[in-house]
Each structure stands twice: as structure tokens, then as C-alpha cells.
Chain A
Amino acid sequence: MADLTTDFLGIKSPNPFWLASAPPTDKEYNVRRAFEAGWGGVVWKTLGSEGPPVVNVNGPRYGVVYGADRRVLGINNIELITDRDLYTNLEEIKRVKADYPDRAVIVSIMVPCEEEAWKAILPLVEDTGADGIELNFGCPHGMSERGMGAAVGQVPEYIEMVTRWCKQYYSKPVIVKLTPNITDIRKPAAAAKRGGADAVSLINTINSITSVNLDTMSPEPSIDGKGTHGGYCGPAVKPIAMSMVSEIARDPDTAGLPISGIGGVTTWRDAAEFITLGCGNVQVCTAAMTYGFKIVQEMISGLSQWMDEKGHTSIQDFMGAAVPNTTDWQYLNLNYVAKAKIDQDACISCGRCYAACEDTSHQAIAMSEDRTFSVIDEECVACNLCVDVCPVENCISMVALEPGTIDPRTGKTVQKDYANWTTHPNNPAAQAAE
């Protein structure tokens, strides 16, 4: 059976599944339950400076976006960092770490952008025996209005500065958690690296309004008739997170910087995908908040089974395996030609491919009197929309045309050689092949 143990920055955990800093890791009770359920590690919910704790709203904290059958696709939240006393948290962290030495315990921190504030809290955290810290430069709601969270994560210079303080006053690994509410994720990642960060973790949540109450005209979650943007997370944000992770993994400035992947990890498959894009482990929140801690059992068994099937003996075997295949559009092979193909035995004749293609794409699917749907190769540009909207898995597939055959759409012979936009005759900036 595959070995799921991970070594992230020297921090060992029995599997790559950590709970992200969030409501599920707010206190000892939850974290103990999580470890009993099998989680490899936790990032403790963000601690703030000593003194009166933050206060939370006393109304709803979460909004939701549903898919069919009220399946949770995304949750947003307006909960702030821990609203419990700093020392209570520190004592609990110390106890839990002592009782679970084989699990990773990371402490998330968010204090003002002043050296003294960091200098004050870091020794206290160090004393807990926790394995490392994560700098919360990501939360987009509430704390950002006070110059913390995403307000820091949106200024690379601040990231670098604070990271440097942390490396100065704390001896163990420092992970910088990035906000996605920024134009180019590579800039804050590079700043973290310059500041000496051992790793980055991303994404934190995305500015969002999940819904508007059409009776009260208030955004949800509504607090006495008013709403504010919250941080969006869950399966809906996974594509955004994976793109940002891949950019950091690919960029020469940040390539090789360890990444803890966060954003919509719901199943073992999601975790495997993040790891192939360069993550050393993953952090999970929404899936646990939706289904409880037990889901980690599926993540462990699923990842393990898949690794066995693929012959991977450790996480390292496939970590970053998809990074070399993640490229710019301009380098995609324009000589690759595919056509949609419909498996008539699997087709249930719902006609969704036809409606999608006929109304919104290339009129490349024919519908017969008896509801047989077939692809018109002369029109098909292989856009994949039919595959995407088909309710039956593997009913429609994209089949590559063999080099030497003629593409009925263009009348041209499919070329064997790779050729991309940079050398295409239609590209005004094309460089002649040398």
C-alpha cells in the first residue's frame, strides 16, 4: 500500500490532508476530534494579538451557493479570526501537540503590521511546541478593513517585511498564506520568498456575495438587513486555486518554493490534482464543514488506491508531475486536431449536446427524426462543450485525428509536427522558424 506520509518543510504528517485555519480548527475539542478521525495535520485558527479578543457578528456568518439537490458548491463566510483568549488557545495548542506528536500542528497568526506585534506573539507560539506558523495575509473580510489579512497580502512589500520579521523571531518553518484577491499571484509569492518564507499556502478565500435576499434586498448572510462581502471557498473555487498554484510552480522566480494547496479540496482526486501541480500537501475546510471530519477516510483510501494503481509509492513520486504540462496558450500545439465522437450505445438521447452546439457553438451536431445525435466533422472545432454538458460520463469523447488524415472542416491534412502560435502565419509577431 502506498505511503502517504508527507514531509513538508521537515514537518512530518501521516498523510497530506491538513485542516485549514478556519472554524473547524478553532479549539482543542475540534482538533482532537479531527486527529481521531485521521487528519494528518491542522492549521490552528488564526490567533490575534494579546488583549481583548475580536468580536464576531451575532447573526449568520455563512452564505452558500448550491448545486442540484442542495449540494454545497461554495460557502462564504464573514467570521473573523479566533474570538477566544490568546492564552487559552496557546495552552490548548501545547496540550494537543504533546498528545499528537505525529501530527502536524501549525499556528496561524494575524497581528498588525508592526514589528513589535510580531515580536511579542512569536515567542509565545514557539513555546507551544507547534511545528510551524502560517501568516494569515489572506482573509478578505473584516480584518482587512483594519489593515490586516488580505490588506497585507495585497502589498508585496508588506509581505516581504513581515515574513522577514517572522524568520527573525521564530525558529521553525514560516508559511505565508496568500490572498487570491489580487491581479497577479506571482508577485506576493515572490515577495514571500524574498522575505525568507519556507513555503506559501493558497488560496485564502475570495471576495464574494453569494446571494441577495429579494424580499429584504440584503446580501446574504444578512445581519439585521445588511450584508458584506465574505470569503468564498469550497468546490467552486478549486479551478481558481489550482491556476494560481500552477503559476507559482511555473514561475522561474518562485519555482521550487514549497506550496500547501488550498481551495475546494473535497475528494482524494482534488488533493491528487493539487499535488500534481506542485503542492507538497493540501489543506481542507469546506468539505469538512459540509460533511464532518470523517471525509478524510475517503481521501486517504482514495489517494492510496490511486497511487497503488499508478505505481506511486510516495507523494513525492507524482508531486509537480503536471507542472511541465502547464504552459501558455501560445505554446499549445495548433496542429493537434480532434473531433467529438458520440458513443451511441451510451447515449440516452437527452439532446443537451445538440442544444448547446446548435444554439451556442458551431452547429456541429445533427439530430435525426429518431433522436440519434451525431457529430458533423465538417463543422466540429472540438470545443468540448458537448462533452461538458453531457450527463453521461464518457458518452462523448474527443478523438484526435491521425497525422496524415484530412480534417473535414478545413480540408487540410493533419500535420505530425508541433506548431504553435508563435510561428503561425496569422500572428503579426510571428518569428520565422530557424
Chain B
Amino acid sequence: MNSPYTPGIAAARLAPDDLAENFADLHAPLDGHEAAVAADRCYFCHDAPCITACPTDIDIPLFIRQIATGTPEAAAKTIFDQNILGGMCARVCPTEDLCEQACVRELAEGKPVEIGRLQRYATDTVMAKGTMPYSRAPETGKKVAVIGAGPAGLSCAHRLAMLGHDVTIYDAMPKAGGLNEYGIAAYKSTDDFAAREVDWLCSIGGIEIKTGMALGKELKLDDVVGCFAATFLAVGLGGVNALGAPGDDKDGVDDAVSFIETLRQTDDLSSLPVGRNVVVIGGGMTAVDAAVQSKLLGADTVTIAYRRGRDAMGASRYEQDLAASHGVKLLFNAMPIAIHGNGSAVEIELERTETTDGTLKGTGETLRLPADQVFRAIGQTLTTDAGLDLDGRKIAVTGAGRTSRAGVWAGGDCAAGGDDLTVTAVAEGRDAAMDIHATLMGDG
């Protein structure tokens, strides 16, 4: 067996029991008593700031009051009315930047109501029963294509199915779920939750999922548009930005998203190799997820190198602290200029940066870190524009996701506007579905 100090990239650095413990639920679910205590803290604010802060506008005070009064099922319905992926969002939302940051008790006492965990309590209650609180409206006879089975696509599909339309979801990957299935740290979505949520969501009926169908490859937008009354594009950002530094092609230099994806799909954590000294380049949630999981797999040292200061980091302060608490070192104002090694990465060379007049540039001072493994986590890109107008590097949309092509809507990470968050994708999918429905039914 290997250890954290085994040189190079190696699997089984930790014992299987330790690995299992490391990748257990990040936050244990609340039990009934804990939920009651947590719910009692909610003030039931007027026009509550937490609702405003939620991209899906969940009526948070109402659902918490429903928990407090012993009806978590009703609470879940309140959540699902606005966010059908409320279960996953309860696990992955950066609540510290959204609802919980806005909570008046954060201001009053520095301790917000635990909205995320309460949401999980409510949604888990319903999902454990396996009941789908919605039924379909009479069939409209309209068929809608959804391309991409991630949060935006699933949200859109569920709403459309509920409104009586027949939905076909296409996805490039072997499994539905998108980033919920492939892109989120394992300890945030344990026990195959993403797949269970997809099954539950589809239990409303009227949704067919076809996997292994990638837009621009097996699937052409023109063909889809020709077969369906409307199309919703939610293909995400499949490409990964390159480092643009010499040595980017050496062995041991990998995409963080691929690493996370492999980790999420494995049945045997001890089969996953990880470096002794890992350096993650980037400053977002993906960087944190890759770094923390490297540490949990047994890497000896893990460093996140970010080219700007802490305040500019995409990952929330909570996520930064989570990383630090697992022993990840956060290195700010450092950008990679070369990866050294004879075939395989051994060392990364970074240059200190400074920002003057809004422009980032190197100071000339360099440092070197041992690095058998380097993860790129410097953003993802659209892999195909499918002939649509772009806004910057994403699909341009107006209103509720309308693209430059009639009959084609887009939402989620692939569309311009909004943060690249699960919850934002859910909101965009839902809103596009309502707009598609209005259009198909002649009200649009």
C-alpha cells in the first residue's frame, strides 16, 4: 500500500476506511429534532431578504414555517414549486453567498438560519417517500426537445412535462444529471443522489432521456428543430481552458473537471491515483472541489494557486475556509509560467502578480513548487455555438432564454447572463419552460 508520501502519482494513498470516511456527507442531514430547533430560529420576515437572494425565489420563510409546524412535505412542495432540483441545491448551493448571507439573523447574530440544511430536510422527506407532488396537465400534443440533462435541462423538462408537453432530453454523457452527476464534489452528493433525483424528477412522466447524444456530433440542431415544436439548449460548458504555459502538455497535467468526473463515477476510491504534491490552478468552485478531493484521496500537499487576490476568488469565503480546513494551501497573486519535468510534471514555476489600473501583470518574481500533478481549473468554455449568436463566449439570450433563432431557447451555463450556479441554471430552465409553454399555447 502507498502513503501520502509515495512519490509521483499513485493510488491507494489512504486505507479504504479512511477514504470512505473522507468522502462521506460533508454536512450530515438534520434529524427531526435538529430541524425543529433550526426552524424555530426563522423570524418569518416580511418580503424576506433570503427569498430575494435565492435565484429561484423559493419562499423560504413559508417552507421553514411549514417544517416548524410539522409538515415537511408541504415545505418540500413550497420549495419544488420554484425549484424542482431543490434537493441538489440544498446540497450544493453556496448558501453562504445567497440566502443565508441575506438572513437577518446573520446580521443580528452572525449566525443565519440554516436554510440550506432545512431545505434538505424537507426535500429529503419527500424524496425518501418517493412521491412526486405534481401531476401532468392534459397532454397538449406538443413535443419539446431539451439538449443537455443537467440542472437547466432537467428543470425545463419537468416544468414542460407538468404543463402537458412531451419532452425528449438528449445528453452527450452516458448518464443524465450533467454537473450534478459529473461535476460536483463527491462529499456534496453522496449515495448516488444525483441519479436518484433524476429518476424522481422523471417520475412525473412525459420525459424521455436519450444519452450519448452530443450536440454537434450525433445531434444536429437543424434536425432537432425540424422534429420538435421547441428546443431548449442547456449543453453547459464542455471545454476547458488551457494554461497557456510551457509544459501544459506534460504527463500529470490534467483538467480538474475530468478528475472530479472520474472521482464521481468510481466505485472504488482506492483505485484513483493522485499526486503526492498537487497544485490546482484557478480560483473557482471547481478548483476548490479538485483541491479538497485531492487532499481527501491522500495527497501530501495540495496548493490552490490563483492569479488574483482572495477577494476576487470565485469560490466563496466559506469554500476557501473549507479548503483550508482540509489542509489545502491557498496561494494568491501567483500565475503559472512553466511546468517543469522530464516528460512528467515535477515542479511548477509561478510568477507573482499585481494589478495596476485594473490590469493584471507579472512582477517578475517567481517561485517554484513541487508538483507531480497539476490541475487546470481556470474556466470552461462552450464547445459549439450551434450557429447561434453569441454574447461574449456564451449563447446570447433575451427574455426568458430566447436565442437568436426562433423556436430555440437556451439556459444554464451555456447561456449568457447569470452566475454559473446549479440554482441559477434551475431558474433559467424553469423560466424558459414557462416561455416555451406560453409560445406553444399561443400566448407568447
Q: Which residues of A contact B (CB under 8 A)?
A: 68-70, 348-352, 354-355, 367, 371, 391-392
Contact = CB atoms under 8 A, between A and B. Distances in A.
Interface string B356-388: 000000000000000000000000000000000
B44 A349 contact: no
> Interface centre among A350, A354, A355, A367, by most B CB within 10 Å?
A350
Interface in B21-42: 36-37, 40-41
B40 to A, nearest CB: 4
Given A348-B107, A348-B108, A355 B40 contact: no
B44 A352 contact: yes
Given A68-B41, A371-B49, 20 more contacts: A68-B40, A69-B36, A69-B37, A70-B36, A348-B104, A348-B105, A348-B107, A348-B108, A349-B107, A350-B45, A350-B46, A350-B48, A351-B45, A351-B47, A352-B43, A354-B46, A355-B46, A367-B46, A391-B43, A392-B108
Nearest to B109: A348
Nearest to A358: B46
Interface of B: 36-37, 40-41, 43-49, 104-105, 107-108
Contacts of A348: 104-105, 107-108
A347 to B, nearest CB: 9
Contacts of A350: 43, 45-46, 48, 104
6 contacts: A68-B40, A69-B37, A348-B107, A350-B104, A351-B45, A367-B46
- A68, A70, A354 interface centre (most CB from chain B within 10 Å): A68
Contacts of A69: 36-37, 40
Contacts of B47: 351, 367, 371
Contacts of A391: 43, 108
Contacts, number: 36
A355 B44 CA distance: 10
Contacts of B107: 348-349
A249 B211 CA distance: 83
Nearest to B40: A68
A349 B45 CA distance: 8
A55 B122 CA distance: 46
A392 B107 CA distance: 11
- Of B36, B37, B105, B108, the most chain A CB neighbours within 10 A belong to B108
Contacts of B43: 350, 352, 391
A425 B55 CA distance: 58
A349 to B, nearest CB: 6
A298 B43 CA distance: 29
A166 B390 CA distance: 97
A351 B108 contact: no
B60 to A, nearest CB: 13
B36 A352 contact: no
Nearest to A389: B43
Contacts of A70: 36
B334 to A, nearest CB: 38
Contacts of B45: 349-352
A169 B48 CA distance: 67
B412 to A, nearest CB: 30
Contacts of A354: 46
B46 A352 contact: yes
Contact of A349 (B37, B40, B41, B49): B49
A17 B365 CA distance: 75
B383 to A, nearest CB: 41
B359 to A, nearest CB: 33
B104 A349 contact: yes
B49 to A, nearest CB: 7
A391 B108 CA distance: 10
Contacts of B49: 349, 371
Nearest to A349: B104
A65 to B, nearest CB: 14
A124 to B, nearest CB: 49
Nearest to A356: B46
B36 A351 contact: no
A73 to B, nearest CB: 13
Contacts of B40: 68-69
A352 B48 CA distance: 10
A69 B37 CA distance: 5
A76 B443 CA distance: 59
Interface centre among A68, A348, A352, A391 (most CB of B within 10 A): A348
B273 to A, nearest CB: 49
Contacts of A392: 108
Contacts of A355: 46
Nearest to A355: B46
B324 to A, nearest CB: 29
Contacts of A371: 47, 49
A68 B107 CA distance: 20
Contacts of B104: 348-350
A228 B45 CA distance: 38
A348 B41 CA distance: 14
Contacts of A367: 46-47
A367 B36 CA distance: 31
A350 B45 CA distance: 5
A354 B44 CA distance: 12
Given A68-B40, A70-B36, A351 B105 contact: no
A348 B102 CA distance: 10
B46 A351 contact: yes
Nearest to A392: B108
